């Protein structure tokens, strides 16, 4: 697939090419996100092949992502800065509200716009080498890739404010404890874990996955009464799919796996 950048790579895995693996591939610059890369992310998520049921995003080299490419910053005036931030919003919206769930596999630096990218994903896996920071505060800038909307929903506004005011860096274990990641795995295994999770996600009914990605965050923003109503609509639509009926029948007739304690 052609994108705006050679610094991002899409490959397909799985027996039916059901897993999209997206690699940030600019390791010499620590996968810093220049405009081409941001547009490349948008292009890939807007044009995922129809076979894809789940996606994984990771970074080549020693780090997940060093955030915004700071070398492009000085050339923008206020109006261009506004448009630039809106471009990030549009690209990361394609990640969050695309067709399939996305798992971020993180290692090394997950900073600034890198954390904003990870926050747009649906599941975050970190290995023990990761460190998380929002250096925007100390660089005299502000988040612009949706971080002020998404990150407080993960860790609370107080923690994000602290990260930005003081430059606080969270190590991987702390990051998992406060909610920046849902899985903590040994160094070097984040991609394997993310692929394992993506494989599991890909085996769900696609409509259920879509409902989870698109309805859950919206219901969280609705007053309770509207949330209950949206939930009922979503439940009715999803359970009406032939695939849902077949899966329930499989369980009732002893063909489907039980929930296990492990």
127 touches ligand 1HE (CB under 6 A): no
Catalytic residue among 72, 116, 253, 262: 116
30 touches ligand 1HE (CB under 6 A): yes
Taking the CB of residue 203, how many other CB atoms lie within 10 A of it? 12
Catalytic residue among 136, 231, 243, 253: 136
Among 12, 25, 70, 169, the residue binding ligand 1HE under the rule CB under 6 A is 70
67 touches ligand 1HE (CB under 6 A): yes
To ligand 1HE, the closest distance from the beta carbon of 147 in angstroms equals 7
Contact 209, 164 (CB under 8 A): no
144 touches ligand 1HE (CB under 6 A): yes
Active site residue 75: no
64 touches ligand 1HE (CB under 6 A): no
24 touches ligand 1HE (CB under 6 A): no
Binding window for ligand 1HE (CB under 6 A); candidates: 24-32, 121-129, 156-164, 178-186: 24-32
Structure tokens at 11: 């490959």
Active site residue 136: yes
**CB closer to ligand 1HE out of 94 and 215:** 94
Among 7, 43, 69, 176, the residue binding ligand 1HE under the rule CB under 6 A is 69
7 touches ligand 1HE (CB under 6 A): no
Angstrom distance (rounded) from CA 188 to CA 169 = 20
62 touches ligand 1HE (CB under 6 A): yes
Angstrom distance (rounded) from CA 4 to CA 41 = 9
By CB under 6 A, the residues from 83 to 112 that bind ligand 1HE are: 88, 109, 111-112
Contact 27, 61 (CB under 8 A): yes
Looking at beta carbons, which residue is closest to ligand 1HE? 112
Angstrom distance (rounded) from CA 56 to CA 135 = 25
Angstrom distance (rounded) from CA 49 to CA 17 = 9
Contact 47, 13 (CB under 8 A): no
Among 42, 58, 63, 193, the residue binding ligand 1HE under the rule CB under 6 A is 63
**CB closer to ligand 1HE out of 139 and 171:** 139
How, if at all, do strands 131-133 and 109-111 pair?
Answer: parallel
Residues of this chain that interact with ligand 1HE (CB under 6 A) are 29-30, 32, 62-63, 66-71, 88, 109, 111-113, 135-136, 139, 141, 143-145
The residues that are catalytic are 116, 136
């Amino acid at each position: 697939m052609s994108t705006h950048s050679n610094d991002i790579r899409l490959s397909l895995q799985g027996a039916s090419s059901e897993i999209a693996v997206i690699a940030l591939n600019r390791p010499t610059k620590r996968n810093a996100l220049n405009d081409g890369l941001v547009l490349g992310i948008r292009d890939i998520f807007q044009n995922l092949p129809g076979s894809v049921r789940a996606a994984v995003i990771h970074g080549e080299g020693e780090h997940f992502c060093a955030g915004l490419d700071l070398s492009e910053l000085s050339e923008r005036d206020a109006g261009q800065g506004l448009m630039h931030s809106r471009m990030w919003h549009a690209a990361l919206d394609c990640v969050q509200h695309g067709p399939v769930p996305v798992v971020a596999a993180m290692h090394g630096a997950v900073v600034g716009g890198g954390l904003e990218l990870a926050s747009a994903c649906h599941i975050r896996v970190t290995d023990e080498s990761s460190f998380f920071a929002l250096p925007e505060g100390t660089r005299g800038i502000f988040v612009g890739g949706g971080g002020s909307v998404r990150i407080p929903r993960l860790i609370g506004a107080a923690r994000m404010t602290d990260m930005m005011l003081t430059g606080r860096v969270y190590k991987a274990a702390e990051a998992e404890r406060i909610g920046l990641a849902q899985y903590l795995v040994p160094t070097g295994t984040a991609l394997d874990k993310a692929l394992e999770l993506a494989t599991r996600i890909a085996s769900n009914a696609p409509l259920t996955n879509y409902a989870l990605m698109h309805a859950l965050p919206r219901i969280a923003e609705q007053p309770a009464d509207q949330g209950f109503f949206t939930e009922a609509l979503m439940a009715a639509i999803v359970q009406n799919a032939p695939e849902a009926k077949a899966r329930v029948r499989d369980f009732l007739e002893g063909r489907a796996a039980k929930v296990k304690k492990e």
